[in-house]
Amino acid sequence: MPQLPVITFAPETLPAGGTLVVFAAEDLALGDAAMRVDAATDGLVKAAAEAQGFKGKRFGTMLIAMPRGIEATGLLVVGLGDPAKLTEADWSKLGGSVIGALPSGPNSDVTVLAETPAGALGAAEAAEIALGMTLRSYSFDTYKSKKAEDPAPAARKIIISGGDSDAAGKAWERVSAIGAGVILARELVNEPPNVLGPVEFADKAEALRDLGVTVTILEPAELERLEMRALLGVAQGSERPARVAIMEWMKGPAEVKPVALVGKGVVFDTGGISIKPAGGMEDMKGDMGGAAAVIGTMHALAARNARVNAVGVIGLVENMPDGKAQRPGDIVKSKSGQTIEIINTDAEGRLVLADLLTHTIETYEPKVVIDLATLTGAVIVALGHFNAGMYTDDDTVAAQLSDAGKATGDLVWRMPLSKDYDGLIDSKFADMKNTGGRWAGSVTAAQFLKRFAKDSLWVHLDIAGTGFGAPANEISRTFASGFGVRLLDRFIADFHEDGADKTPRGPAA
């Protein structure tokens, strides 16, 4: 685990060293405390802004060396743009922008004046800044050689100063639990595939028992007994045995059905017999991003003691070519009893999810089931790396997830479902085939899954473009983004947690 900053909240104070951070609007307007600093330095902020061309644009930064006589060694000015147009998700991005612009070295401690020209920040905004700082500070260097004589770097100490520091500290207790879930998801996706196989991934799920989560691990014999032959078919070409991990957090009213989260956990995907091109195949260690998001969300719910009934179900397999691997043309019988003709062994994630959806719905009768999967390259062609594809027939849940995405920055975009697309996966030899061809590949994959969701309130999130390999941004600088954890936690908190406001926020996307 990387060294993350130690963040505390305090009443308004100026630092005795390190870097002082202030926020400026696009007209270089400052908060009261920042104006006092500017006055004490004879207008240093505005003079430096003129010299550096700093305009106060959102997420822009300007670092200034402080003159003698001022306790802080540096002053970092971070742009807000028009403060009236800041969204909730922008505050974490501002925190990430702070970390990205801070100097390293012995004077690395930081004091952030939590104010805008309009006044002190609220507790929620201060906690989001802290979250952005934490997520931007994350890096993955576990396997880089380190010299024995190199001292371990000290954790950066950050004070967020001003406003109601007690309320901000309490808000941070909750938000930091969510951040820990995001980082757990990132760690899993970043791990190399020779280290993190299905068994090792299941061990990570079992570790949630320390937070009070009930965890059950299903091994191949039990999966065979449960007739999860679509899932087992994906794993049969690998020497590493499949696992299914079931995580239960039942802290809501006993009579309320759970929210179910289902994740694709293909720890490495060669494509099987329909093998992928060699170029870029190393990225397929991230094909378990859906399962990582589910574990991260379950961690977040437990760590913040969410008042909700939730279950996470993940299928953990490796897709390899081998003499025992399934072939194009094979027909498998899923747990639902529906038969599937294998057209392309690289369309394997939907086979895993098919059995997981059937088992989850039959066992828990959830009030809503959401599956997450790095499922198709087609969704990247359609949406790039900035939105996950969202598929559901329900307008209300679509609106709720869209709102949760806008609030957290984990954006989703609703995609179509219809009988016309569904017909593309009909098979001559079985009930269906596992791919509908080149066109609308993300849609036909969703239509495939819909056949196993039956009459349940169901959502499919295709996170292939957002779960890993997305461009660096203000809060994520590694291969893995941790996408989905903040989205799902917020969706549950707003619409399913005991006492939540369950009113849809607007029309479907």
| 126 and 184 housed in the same domain | no
Domain-embedded: residue 188: yes
Query: Do 119 and 211 fall within a single domain?
Result: no
Q: Does one domain contain both 194 and 328?
A: yes
Mean predicted confidence (pLDDT) in 262-291:
98
Q: Give yes or no: residues 232 and 138 share one domain.
A: no
Residues 147 and 198 in one domain: no
Residue 278 lies in a domain: yes
Do 11 and 132 lie in one domain? The reply is yes
User: Would 348 be classed as within a structural domain?
Assistant: yes
Does residue 256 sit in the same domain as residue 341? yes
Q: Does any domain span residue 293?
A: yes
* Domain assignment present for 173: no
504 belongs to a structural domain: no
Do 123 and 185 lie in one domain? The reply is no
Whichever domain contains 254, its CATH number is 3.40.630.10
Q: Which of 126, 141, 166 is the last residue of a domain?
A: 166
pLDDT tens track for 84-137: 999 999 999 999 999 999 987 656 789 999 999 999 999 999 999 999 999 999
**103: containing domain:** 6-166
Q: Is 137 among the domain residues?
A: yes
pLDDT the model gives residue 399: 98
Q: Which residues does the annotation mark as catalytic?
A: 276, 350
Note the pLDDT tens digit of each residue in 361-375: 999 999 999 999 999
Residue type, 200: E
Indicate if 447 and 315 belong to the same structural domain.
Answer: yes
- Give the tens place of pLDDT for each residue, 310-341: 999 999 999 999 999 999 999 999 999 999 99
Domain of residue 136, CATH code: 3.40.220.10
In total, how many domains does the chain have? 2
pLDDT at 503 over 80: no
Note whether 398 and 259 are same-domain residues. yes
| Tens digit of each residue's pLDDT (9 = 90 or more) over 277-302 | 999 999 999 999 999 999 999 999 99
Contact 330, 233 (CB under 8 A): yes
- Residue 506's pLDDT is 44
| Residue pLDDT, tens place only, 480-489 | 999 999 999 9
- Whether 149 shows a pLDDT value over 70: the answer reads no
Supply the pLDDT for residue 148.
Answer: 63
Q: How confident is the model at residue 470 (pLDDT cuts 50, 70, 90)?
A: very high
3-state secondary structure at position 331: strand
For 149, half-sphere exposure in the C-beta direction (CA atoms, 13 angstrom radius) is 0
388-422 pLDDT, tens digit each: 999 999 999 999 999 999 999 999 999 999 999 99
pTM: 0.95
Residues 25 and 77 in one domain: yes
* Per-residue model confidence (pLDDT) at position 509: 38
Mean per-residue pLDDT over the chain, rounded? 94
Distance from C-alpha of 230 to C-alpha of 329, rounded to nearest angstrom:
14
Per-residue pLDDT at 72 exceeds 90: no
Look up residue 287 and give its DSSP letter. Answer: T
Q: Where are the beta strands (DSSP E) in 128-242?
A: 157-161, 214-218
Largest Cα separation within the chain, whole Å, is 82
**Contact (Cβ atoms closer than 8 angstroms) between residue 477 and residue 471:** no
